[in-house]
Amino acid sequence: MNFTKVRRSKARKMNTRDRQLRDWQQKSDYLSNHYIGVSPLTFYVSLGFADVSDEFSLCTMNAKAPAGQRLKKYCDIIDMLADSYGRDDAYVYPAFYLNSYPKEILLHSLRCLYLDLDYVTAASLRRLCEHDFYGHRPTFLVNSGNGVHLVYVLSDSLTTCRETKEQLSTIHRKLLQAFAKHRFKADMNTGLSHAYRVVSSKTKLGQRCTAYRIGGTHDIADLAASVGMVWNDTNPSYYKSEQTYEKNAVRKSQQNQESARCRQNPHALYDCMLRGIEEKTVEGHRYTSLFALTCAGYKCHVSMKKVRQDVLYLANRLHLPLYEAEHALEACDEKKALTVRAVTLESWLGWKFARAKKRNGRTRQEHLAWVAEVRTAISRSRVWQYLQSDPQASIAGIARKLRMGRNTVAKYVHEKWQQIAAEAAAAVREAVNLMEEELEKETASTLLQSARKLPASFIPSIRAPWGELCSASSAGEAERDTPRRNSFSPAVPLA
């Protein structure tokens, strides 16, 4: 074994570690002399983490924790800072997610954009600050060890729909590219859903991760303009909005109230059957009704003493022999009674339970057809709205922008142009009808004026049509002047 190479590698590692520690200290001294340090609590309050709830909680990750225990959720910033203070593997997701699960498809809202620049030395940090971040001045700068984090805090929190996510991802990528042009190692693998080291936690070399205030907050439109983009502040109706979340919350609360009522009255099924058997049971279902009531008693965990009293009471009201009521009580098996379905109970009772109407009274086939119509209408409206904003767009471009199939987009585009053509044809047809009416009126008025200008002797000189009854003189003249026609032609009466 070559001990010389081992000693050299160890010395090289020690030199690298010492150099990194010295470089971190130089960066910290430079930042402390030129900028104001902020506390971790102030930093995360500025990022919008003060409005934490059970539904949207802080998501952190401990990279060195055992599998299944790495993801943690907090409803208080102080608890998160306290748990991560002594760790060197604590990371936090700077956004809120649905159900507090950090996945980009579940991204709900954010108020900052994080940029990760790796291997930033003291000299390169000084160059970055002296050039005023090359026109992209952040709100905070975090000294995270070998690199730095640039944090752009937005003036308002953004609720992210799909289109908003695409625009924010583009802005994030272009900001990273802007720093990469100036020879900085920008981490292009990061995105909107990426975890960053917790401020006040330890770095890999044991230093404290610190934050400094550099500038103010940013308007999203100005931040997009700084990278050559135009922010499209639209929130289409086919995306989930705050009203949708409010409706879902109301529906969930109603469901919780219903479940609470069921918990308050666990004997609701048994009480319903008890009233129904007394009022609706007919002859032929008396014994089976009492058997069904016994099964419901087991399902609702009613004491058998009360079930026996009710069964004997109903047997007396229904004029059923007591030995049959006793047999209904003894024949019911407790284990099998727990698995009896409502349809079976209805067949024993002879009447049906009152159920709430599902799907607004529609059958399953009708409901699926209605859902298909709604989805088709939504897709059609999306394509037509895009065509109104950009009439020259291609089918491939629309499909790529709206994330739809090309055949689907082509079908709706064809329908749109068919509608436009039909409207144009109807307009042309209406115009032609108006022109024909005006022409007929003009022709009729011209003929009338011409007839008024004719002499009075013009009318009698007109020869009568063949076969028309007329005077003797005109008929005779017509017969002399007109050649003989077919034998079946009507004859003109002679004088």
Average pLDDT, integer, range 473-489: 47
Asked if residue 463 is part of any domain, the answer here is no
Asked if residue 458 is part of any domain, the answer here is no
Q: Residue 239 has what pLDDT?
A: 40
337 and 386 in one domain? no
169 and 217 in one domain? yes
Task: State the Cα–Cα distance between residues 1 and 7, nearest whole angstrom.
Answer: 12
382 and 316 in one domain? no
Lowest-confidence region among 115-124, 312-321, 381-390, 436-445: 436-445
326-358 tens-digit pLDDT: 888 888 888 888 888 888 888 888 888 877 667
Asked if residue 474 is part of any domain, the answer here is no
27 and 130 in one domain? yes
CATH number at residue 406: 1.10.10
257-293 tens-digit pLDDT: 555 555 557 788 888 888 888 888 888 888 898 898 8
334 and 383 in one domain? no
Q: Residue 237 has what pLDDT?
A: 39
- Per-residue b/e over 430-445, b at no fewer than 16 CB within 10 Å? eeeeeeeeeeeeeeee
At which of 204, 226, 248 does a domain end?
226
Asked if residue 334 is part of any domain, the answer here is yes
178 and 51 in one domain? yes
Asked if residue 245 is part of any domain, the answer here is no
At which of 413, 430, 447 does a domain end?
430
At which of 415, 430, 445 does a domain end?
430
Asked if residue 155 is part of any domain, the answer here is yes
Q: In total, how many domains does the chain have?
A: 3
Percent of the chain with pLDDT over 90: 24
193-245 tens-digit pLDDT: 899 999 999 988 888 999 999 999 999 999 999 999 989 875 443 344 445 55
33 and 81 in one domain? yes
The domain in which residue 417 lies consists of 364-430
Asked if residue 442 is part of any domain, the answer here is no
Asked if residue 439 is part of any domain, the answer here is no
CATH number at residue 53: 3.30.70.1790
175 and 100 in one domain? yes
Distances in Å between the alpha carbon of 28 and those of 34, 44, 148, 207? 10, 20, 11, 10
Average pLDDT, integer, range 409-415: 89
